[in-house]
Structure 1
Amino acid sequence: MIGGLWNGISGLNSFEKALSAESNNVANVNTIGHKSDDVSFQDLMYQNGYGKGTNIQTVEKDFSQGNLKITGNSYDVAIDGRGFFLVKEQGTNDIFYTRAGNFKMGSTGTLQSIDGMTVQGIQSLGSTVISTDPNDTQFNNNYDQFIASSTIYNGNDIQTINARSTDFRKTAEDSGVSGQGYKTAAAKMNDIQALITNYKEKLELYSSNPAANPVASVAAVTQVPYGTTINNLNDENDIVQVTINNITIKQKFDTDVQTTMNKFADKISGVQGVIGTVDTNGLVTITSMVPGEDLKVTYPSINNDTSPSVNPITEPVQGSGIGLVTSARDALKNALEAANAKFIDMTTNLDMANQANLVTSDIQLKLDNLNISENGLGEVEIDDGKIFVKDGDNKFIVGSISTAYFNDELSLNPEGNNLFSKTNLSGEPIDATDANKLQGKTLELSNSNLGDNLTNLMVYQRAFEANSKAVTTSDDFLKTAIQLKK
């Protein structure tokens, strides 16, 4: 009878704890990233074949995947798969682990958890800047013309290349000497447009094969020796002509032979992306401003009755790797500067080589703190843990969020606030990059299942009532035994 009393009390104690654990699951059904508790029971020792009651064996976390909910918030991130985010307590520098990805930007510009812990990851390296003005080391509002933005994935390295310029349409002016590469303002603007297109194309080629050996692009040069045939230019009925890239250039006799040939060269320079020059012997040199692009020169003549030869001096070379990007960038920079405009090009790198070793740091998001742009607050975009910040049409890689898993997740110590800490039994954290995918603008919901939770609550409630009945029944037996003595 005494044994039955204690058995009932053990049941009351155990199911009271089980009710507490299950009610905690219900209470956290809307908690971001919450992992529910699974309760296991065990029977106690036996004596002469009689059991001595029950006890809670374990209360373990269920680390199964929770449902994912799209939130649209740029700072929200969900882990789809195994692992935890790493967050650091700023006062103690202690590292904790969480599945809750409802992040924010802190007052210092770092990526933080909702309770102010800094999210750990890899910060981008310093940027390489090529600019017309050496004092301009970051983007500013003077550079209001978007040129290009590209993201290149090259093994462990992620690279963003961004370019802008000042408004060349406002600063371009006619300049140069007639016959020696003279350019009108309109021609300069057309050249710049061609070189912008070429730069974007070269960025795309580089992005498709970033590991290729760097080979610089080479611009084509062709010469047409009109020679003594220029002496046939005598009056306004005489014409010198040539076709360049399917555009026919014609010049009537004007004043004298050299003036005519100079104006002819000037018209050649009016062709988009081409420079024309001529010497005193009638040698016309036609140079492509676009590195790697074909230059088609055909049908040179004077009065349609002579045919000077066409002599390719330099064949175009497209180039490869970063070399073709550098060549295109330099050509564009020169054309912009010829139009009295300024150019700035910034390459930002994220080195992922130490990711597997979980060498992490705080992640800075503000572009001015990173010396990328004077416009500090850009639009954050997170793609599989890679953090980009947009400033207008330009997009910069600034960091990557790290995740880790443990060989024994069940031995992690729950700290509250959606946090876990490692223990001796859990082992050291291991890089989880290949074990999950990070979903931007998404949160992982609690994996508590209300159906199961409420069913368990009813079972535990009934079990609690049944064990209380066992206690009262044993008590009645004891009362009867005591009354027998009377």
Structure 2
Amino acid sequence: MIGGLWNGISGLNSFEKALSAESNNVANVNTIGHKSDTVSFEDLMYDAGGYGKGTNIQTVEKDFSQGNLKITGNEYDVAISGRGFFLVKEQRTDEVFYTRAGNFKMGSNGTLQSSNGMTVQGIQSQGTIAVGTNPNDTQFSDKYNQFLASDTIAYGDNIQTINARATNFRQTAEASGVSGQGYKSASSKINDIQALSTNYKEKLELYSSNPTANPVESVAAVTQVPYGNLINDLQSEDDIIKVTIGNITVKQKFDTDIQTTMNKFADKISEIQGMKGEVDTNGLVTITSMIPGDDLKVTYPSVNDANAPSVNEITKPVKGSGIGLVTSARDALKNAIEAAGAEFIDLTTTLNTANQGNLATTDLQLKLDNLNISENGLGELEIDNGKIFVKDGDNKFIIGSISTAYFNDELSLNPEGDNLFSQSNLSGDAIDASNANTLEGKTLELSNSNLGDNLTNLMVYQRAFEANSKSVTTSDDFLKTAIQLKK
């Protein structure tokens, strides 16, 4: 009878704890990243007669199964799909905790933080290399208001973003040069920049598709047309000299004298987008492509329909490869912009993830001005599988990567509240989880509490509690009867 009484009491104690655990699951059904508790019971030791001594809570373990993902549209929200935890650091103590809750924010100092103000840990980009007209300009400023190019290149452990801008070349472009020696009008300079900007974007795309290719610089094509003595036939306004470049035929009628006519002929060649024309006193016309690597097809040179001598390819175009593609196109664009009286700047930002496996992490700075990338500190954040990009207008920069970690025995982690866990002796050390999950931007992981199961368990535990209370009262009735018998 006494044994039955204690058995009932053990049941009351155990199911009271189970009710607390299950009600906690229900209470946290809307908690971001919450992992529900699973209660396991054990029976107690038996006596020699084979009678049990009641029950006890064996374990209350976290269920680390995947919670449902919800798209929120918030640029700071991140969800883990798969195994692992975010690393967050308490700023006062530098202690690192682990969480599945990715409802992040930007702190007042520009760092990525958890909702309770801990700094999210990851890898920061390794600085920015600037190439431009003014060596003192190392970041974008308001004067660089003309977008030129932007691309992202991934190779090995590196992710690069290359971005280019210029000052307003449309306002500064002016005619310059000597007639017949590469003279350029303001409009032709602007057209050249547009062609070279397009070429730079194309070369960035080529480089992005094969960034590890052997670096070979592109070479611009140069072709000469020796009109020679044919130019002496330019004597009257009915006389004409012409040539076809690509699919454009350039014609020039006699004007004033032979040299003036030839100079104007060369100037018309220079008016073609991405071309430069020059002529000497012997009628040798030199045609240069300003776009490195592009073919230069020159055909049908003539004076009054009398064919000139053969076209001579002085320098054959070289397409180039690897980073050589990029530097050649960039330098050609830079030269054209400077020829238009404007300034050019090109920024290369690199993120190296070689030490990601060592979990050598740091706070993640999000503001572009703090990173010396742009005077416009606040850009539009974009998180792609943990890689953090910030957009500044049409330019996009890689600035960091969010780290995640897993444990060999995650059930031994210490729950700390606030959606946090801490490492224990039994959990083992944190291990890089970058290959064990994907990180979804603008998304949150919901609680994995299942209301259907939770409410069912609550009813079961409630009935079990009532049944055990009945065991106590029944045992008490037996004791009363036994005492009455003794009397």
Deviations 1:134-154 (A, max 9, x none): 221100111111111101111
Match of 2:174 in 1: 173
Which residue identity is paired with 1:5? L
Partner of 2:24: 24
TM-score, normalising length: structure 1: 0.99
Over residues 13-39 of structure 1, what are the superposed CA-to-partner deviations in whole Å (9 max), with x where a residue is unaligned?
000000000000000000000000000
Cα distance in 2 for partners of 1:51, 1:339 equals 94
After TM superposition, list the pairs within 5 Å mapping 1:2-41 onto structure 2: 2-41=2-41
Q: 1:455-483 CA distances to partner (integer Å, 9 max, x unpaired)?
A: 00001001111111111111111111122
| 3-state SS of paired residue (1:286) | strand
User: Separation in 1 of the partners of 2:139 and 2:387?
Assistant: 22
1:434 aligned counterpart, secondary structure: coil
Instruction: Measure, in 1, the Cα distance between the counterparts of 2:253 and 2:3.
Output: 122
Query: Is the contact made by 2:226 and 2:308 (CA closer than 8 Å) also made in structure 1?
Result: no
Question: What is the CA distance between 1:226 and its match in structure 2?
Answer: 1.1
Question: Which residue does the alignment assign to 2:364?
Answer: 363
Q: Secondary structure at the match of 1:125?
A: coil
Structure-to-structure mapping, 1:469-480, within 5 angstroms: 469-480=470-481
The Cα shift of 1:239 comes to 1.2
Per-residue deviation, residues 108-167 of structure 1 (Å, max 9, x unmatched): 100000000000000001101111112211001111111111011111100001111111
Distance 1:270 1:458 in 2: 86
Q: What letter is aligned with 1:46?
A: Y
Written as runs of structure 1 = structure 2, the 5 A alignment for 1:332-343 is 332-343=333-344
Segment of structure 1 superposing worse, 53-62 or 253-262: 253-262
Gaps of 5+ in 2: none
Corresponding residue number in structure 2 for 1:193: 194
* Residue 386 (structure 1) aligned with residue 379 (structure 2): no
The residue aligned with 1:261 is 262
SS in 2 for 1:188: helix
Which residue does 1:42 correspond to in 2? 42
Shift of residue 485, structure 1, vs aligned partner: 2.3
In the aligned structure 1, how far is the partner of 2:342 from the partner of 2:245?
28
Find out whether 1:224 has 2:225 as its counterpart: yes
How far apart, CA to CA, are the structure 1 residues paired with 2:187 and 2:115? 54
| Partner Cα separation in structure 1 for residue 322 and residue 39 of structure 2 | 59
Query: Counterparts of 1:268 and 1:483 in 2: how far apart (Å)?
Result: 124
Correspondence for 1:286? 287
After the TM superposition, which segments of 4 or more aligned residues of structure 1 sit over 2 Å from their partners? none
Offset of residue 233 of structure 1: 1.5
Q: Compute the displacement of 1:306 (Å).
A: 3.2
Cα distance in 1, alignment partners of residues 197 and 399 from structure 2: 25
Find the counterpart in structure 2 of residue 54 from structure 1: 55
Amino acid at match of 2:6: W
C-alpha distance in 2 between matches for 1:341 and 1:407:
58
Q: Deviations over 1:165-210 (max 9, x none)?
A: 1111111111000111000011111111110110110011011101
**Residues in 2 aligned to 1:28 and 1:252: alpha-carbon distance in whole angstroms:** 86
Partner SS state of residue 192, structure 1: helix
Stretches of structure 1 lacking an aligned partner (at least 5 in a row): none
Name the SS of the counterpart of 2:58 in structure 1. Answer: strand
Deviates more, 1:346-355 or 1:227-236: 227-236
TM-score (norm 2): 0.99
* Whole-Å separation in 2 of the counterparts to 1:445 and 1:240: 76
**In 2, Cα distance between equivalents of 1:115 and 1:146:** 38
- Counterpart secondary structure, 1:433: coil
Deviations 1:256-298 (A, max 9, x none): 2111111111111111100000111111110000000011101
Name the stretch that deviates more: 8-17 or 475-484.
475-484
CA distance in 2, matches of 1:99, 1:49: 46
Deviation at 1:64, TM superposition (A): 0.3
Question: Equivalent residue of 2:56, what SS?
Answer: strand
**Aligned partners of 2:274 and 2:290 also within 8 Å:** yes
One-letter amino acid matched to 1:417:
D
Shift in Å, 1:357: 1.1
2:404 corresponds to which residue?
403
Show the counterpart of 1:421: 422
Q: CA deviation at 1:440?
A: 0.4
Equivalent residue, structure 1, for 2:329: 328
Q: Paired residue for 1:317? A: 318
Q: Residue type of the partner of 1:167?
A: N
Q: Secondary structure at the match of 2:460?
A: helix
**Letter in structure 2 aligned against 1:32:** I
Please give the per-residue CA displacement for 1:216-248, whole angstroms capped at 9, x wherever unaligned: 000000001111221111221211111111111
Secondary structure of 1:438 counterpart: strand
Which sits farther off after the overlay, 129-138 or 29-38?
Answer: 129-138
Aligned to 1:205: 206
1:437 pairs with 2:438:
yes
Per the TM alignment, residue 308 of structure 1 is displaced from its structure 2 partner at its CA by 2.1
The equivalent of 2:463 in structure 1 is 462
Separation (CA, whole Å) in 2 of partners of 1:235 and 1:442: 76
Aligned to 1:108: 109
Q: How far is 1:307 from its partner?
A: 2.2
Within 2, Cα distance between the matches of 1:381 and 1:237? 64
Q: Which residue of 1 aligns with 2:87?
A: 86
2:64 match: 63
